[in-house]
């Protein structure tokens, strides 16, 4: 299938870039032990209902369409690889990276996208020392939930107003990426601020991410738009099947 090969080639390219960069990169996501235990537990508990909803959606959709699970697996591999592309942030002592959850949310909905992000983050925490088990819930909230919701609702809202498919995809990918890092900044601020005022520290963390996250968001927006346009050209039936587009929009 042409679209499968296209996604595989893109994933392979991203994996090669990651292998070239990972040796000199520092930790990605919110690292193990960075958040106080009460906050780590709170974010983990907050993520559970979203993951439960994702499981419900996956079981319900897979029961109707047997081809869904291979697509979910392909998107999970895509999100895993793209979120393994570390870009050091000298001003913050950490790394930024693309997320991929905007695209997965557009194609299969935010619920299953929550699960995809959880699987990617769990494997990265266990085998790549990216993030951590104690901060897994916080990272799922930031990348999996906030990124997916921002990408999905941005795309849907723009399409309601008949915004061009490529523009809607670009803005969805862009805002999904930026929403992830805004949420990460909020989580970090709440966890490490101690007695310091909330807003000044939040502003410092947000500013620290700007040098890398501003261009990365634009890059992810372009990547998301490119994949949506490619699917529209090569497999419009898949977009209709996943309710990304209406049949009338494809035949128009």
Q: What is the pLDDT of residue 88?
A: 66
Expressed as residue numbers, the domain containing 142 is 2-251
Determine the average pLDDT of the residues in 110-120: 96
**What is the total count of domains within the chain?**
1
Does the structure show a pLDDT above 90 at 252? no
Taking the C-alpha atoms of residue 106 and residue 177, their distance in angstroms, rounded to an integer, is 14
**Mean pLDDT (whole number) for 108-130:** 92
Structure tokens at 31: 């690292």
- Strands 94-96 and 87-89, by their bridges, are antiparallel
Computed from CA positions of residues 109, 15, 228, 235, in that sequence, does the dihedral angle turn out positive or negative?
negative
Spatial CB neighbours of 28, under 8 Å, sequence gap ≥ 6: 83, 84, 86, 94, 95, 96, 97, 124, 130, 131
Are 218 and 98 in contact by the 8 Å Cβ rule? The answer is: no
Identify the pLDDT of residue 132: 87
Which of 136, 187, 32, 11 lies closest to 85, judged by CA?
A: 11
Q: What is the mean pLDDT of residues 92-116?
A: 87
For the cut 60, the answer to whether the pLDDT of residue 43 exceeds it is yes
165-209 tens-digit pLDDT: 999 999 999 999 999 999 999 999 999 888 889 999 999 989 988
What are 88's strand-pairing partners?
95
- Structure confidence at residue 26 (pLDDT): 45
- What CATH number should be reported for the domain holding residue 50? 1.10.1760.20
Of 151, 139, 77, 79, nearest to 109 by C-alpha is 151
pLDDT surpasses 70 at 152: yes
The pTM assigned to this predicted structure is 0.86
């Amino acid at each position: 299938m042409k679209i499968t090969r296209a996604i595989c080639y893109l994933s392979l390219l991203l994996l090669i870039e990651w292998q070239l960069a990972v040796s000199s990169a520092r930790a990605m996501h919110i690292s193990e032990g960075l958040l106080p235990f009460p906050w780590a537990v709170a974010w983990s508990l907050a993520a559970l209902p979203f993951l439960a909803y994702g499981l419900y959606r996956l079981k319900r959709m897979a029961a109707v369409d047997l081809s869904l699970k291979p697509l979910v697996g392909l998107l999970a591999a895509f999100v895993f690889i793209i979120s393994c592309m570390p870009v050091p942030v000298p001003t913050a002592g950490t790394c930024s990276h693309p997320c991929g959850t905007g695209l997965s949310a557009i194609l299969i909905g935010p619920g299953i996208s929550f699960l995809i992000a959880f699987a990617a983050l769990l494997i990265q925490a266990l085998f790549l020392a990216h993030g951590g088990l104690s901060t897994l819930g916080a990272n799922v909230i930031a990348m999996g939930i906030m990124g997916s919701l921002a990408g999905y609702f941005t795309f849907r809202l723009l399409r309601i107003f008949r915004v061009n498919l490529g523009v809607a995809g670009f803005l969805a990918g862009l805002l999904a990426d930026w929403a992830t890092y805004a949420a990460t900044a909020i989580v970090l601020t709440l966890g490490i601020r101690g007695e310091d005022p909330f807003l000044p520290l939040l502003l410092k963390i947000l500013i620290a991410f700007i040098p890398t996250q501003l261009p990365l968001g634009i890059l992810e927006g372009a990547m998301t738009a490119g994949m949506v346009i490619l699917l529209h050209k090569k497999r419009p039936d898949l977009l209709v099947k996943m309710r990304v587009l209406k049949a009338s929009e494809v035949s128009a």
